[in-house]
Chains A and B, each alone.
Chain A
Amino acid sequence: MLQSIFAIFLFQLVGEVLQKYFALTVPGPVIGLLLLLLALLASDRFSNLAATKVKQSLAATAETLLSHLPLLFVPIGVGVVMHVAALEGQLFAVLGVIFIGTVLTVGFSALLMEKLQGRGSRNGG
């Protein structure tokens, strides 16, 4: 458990340093995600007992960390409610744009994805 937490923190740390050093727009944790994914995929090349154990431990830690992911957004969400006055008179128009735009985007993307996947499987992909 502790080793897995250390590994996850370490990948984030490397991600944050790379982000700052190269002034990237992609956030540090996302870079950490990509690096960890690459490391895991690379580890497939030499499958031994130690690697399998590390992965099992990582999987257990990730499950704990991700099981209540929405909770982690509460503090920043409260900030939005407290600072919503920044939108002044345009609040309802902005909310309207966000609501309609988000619902349309979810619908469009899901239907497109489903259609493309369906076609892929018919072609045997």
Chain B
Amino acid sequence: MADEQKLYSIWVYLQAEPLFWLTLTIGAYLVGDFCYRRSGLFALFNPVALGIIIVSAVLLMFDIQYERYFDGAKFIHFLLGPATVALAIPIYGKWKLIRQHAGAILTTVLLGSCFAILTTWALASLFGLERDIVLSLLPRSVTAPIAMGVAEIIGGIPSLTAIITIITGIIGAAFATFTLDLLRVTNMSARGFAIGLASHGIGTARAMSRNETAGVFAAVAMGLSGIVTALIVPLMIFLFNI
């Protein structure tokens, strides 16, 4: 009985401190990474998706509030900002290559972003989704802070857009490689660019962890498509009165 009480008090202590949540997050990610490598780089077993599933399973199993988990894990989350800034360095390293393909980059980001928005609108209408959900879906391909800002402007639900955006990133990270292999796109810059355009930071992270050129082009696509989408979505709503 005394032992049980001791263990319980340790558990209470651990829940209140960041250490346990940080260890769990990194551990879950490492397990995901291990499974991914072991499965012969099988797309569905990507480290970020598996890491999320493992941590979520632990939280649900022990009935722990997300806010409590995030209070500890926020130290990992914080690094997203500096990591985004740090993307400038590999982009600078490949600047020559980027300038060389400036025309292709600008054309693809314009047409690709429009394509993403229009297919989302067409599919959402086809599936008969409600108007506020359709509006929340439209900016889903770009990084969450931009997407949420756009959703707010056009009358969507920003918190719903945040969820949709992250799901888009995870699906992009999980299925882009498979799609690109199927289409036999071998050019690393085109592969990376498409992933960054369609699935922002999470896709970029995935591309960066596989190939530096792909990662750099993904980061460029993510930045540019964010800007293009922020301008185009409100304009489309205004013009077509969706």
The total of chain A residues at the interface (CB under 8 A) is 73
Which of A32, A68, A99, A107 interacts with B171 by CB under 8 Å?
A99
A75 to B129, CA, bound (A): 29
Q: Contacts A104-B119, A105-B115: A120 and B70 contacting too (C-beta < 8 A)?
A: no
**15 sample A-B contacts, Cβ–Cβ < 8 Å, listed by A number:** A11-B88, A26-B230, A28-B81, A58-B89, A71-B48, A73-B48, A73-B166, A73-B205, A75-B77, A76-B80, A80-B52, A98-B164, A107-B180, A111-B183, A112-B111
A96 to B128, CA, bound (A): 12
User: Which residues of B are found within 8 Å of A102, using beta-carbon distances?
Assistant: 141, 168, 171-172, 175-176, 198-199
Q: Contacts A81-B52, A101-B119, A102-B198: A75 and B103 contacting too (C-beta < 8 A)?
A: no
Additional A-B contacts beyond A70-B51, A101-B120, A103-B171 (20; CB < 8 A):
A29-B85, A69-B205, A69-B209, A73-B80, A75-B77, A94-B137, A97-B129, A98-B167, A98-B168, A99-B175, A100-B119, A104-B115, A106-B172, A107-B194, A109-B193, A109-B198, A112-B112, A113-B108, A113-B193, A114-B185
- A106, B176: Cβ atoms under 8 Å? yes
A106 to B141, CA, bound (A): 10
A25 to B161, CA, bound (A): 15
A102 to B167, CA, bound (A): 10
- A116, B108: Cβ atoms under 8 Å? yes
How many Å from the CB of A59 to the closest CB on chain B? 6
- B76, A37: Cβ atoms under 8 Å? no
A114 to B192, CA, bound (A): 11
Which of B29, B89, B166 interacts with A80 by CB under 8 Å?
B166
How many Å from the CB of B166 to the closest CB on chain A? 5
Size category, B interface: 35 or more
Proximity bits, A17-44, B CB within 8 Å = 1, else 0: 0000000011111101110110011000
Proximity bits, B191-215, A CB within 8 Å = 1, else 0: 1011101110110111011000001
Q: Could you tell me which residues of chain A, from 62 to 82, have a CB within 8 Å of some CB in chain B?
A: 62, 65-82
Q: Contacts A69-B208, A75-B73, A111-B185: A12 and B81 contacting too (C-beta < 8 A)?
A: yes
Proximity bits, A82-103, B CB within 8 Å = 1, else 0: 1110110010011111111111
A40 to B89, CA, bound (A): 8
How many Å from the CB of B108 to the closest CB on chain A? 4
Q: Contacts A70-B173, A71-B48, A74-B29: A82 and B66 contacting too (C-beta < 8 A)?
A: yes
**Interface assignment of B59: CB less than 8 Å from any CB of chain A:** yes
- B133, A90: Cβ atoms under 8 Å? yes
**Interface assignment of A110: CB less than 8 Å from any CB of chain B:** yes
User: Which residues of B are found within 8 Å of A100, using beta-carbon distances?
Assistant: 119, 123
Binding site for B on A (CB under 8 A): 5, 8-9, 11-12, 15-16, 25-30, 32-34, 36-37, 40-41, 58-59, 61-62, 65-84, 86-87, 90, 93-114, 116-117, 120, 125
Proximity bits, B25-44, A CB within 8 Å = 1, else 0: 11011000000000000000
**Interface assignment of B101: CB less than 8 Å from any CB of chain A:** yes
User: Which residues of B are found within 8 Å of A76, using beta-carbon distances?
Assistant: 77, 80, 144, 166
- A109, B201: Cβ atoms under 8 Å? no
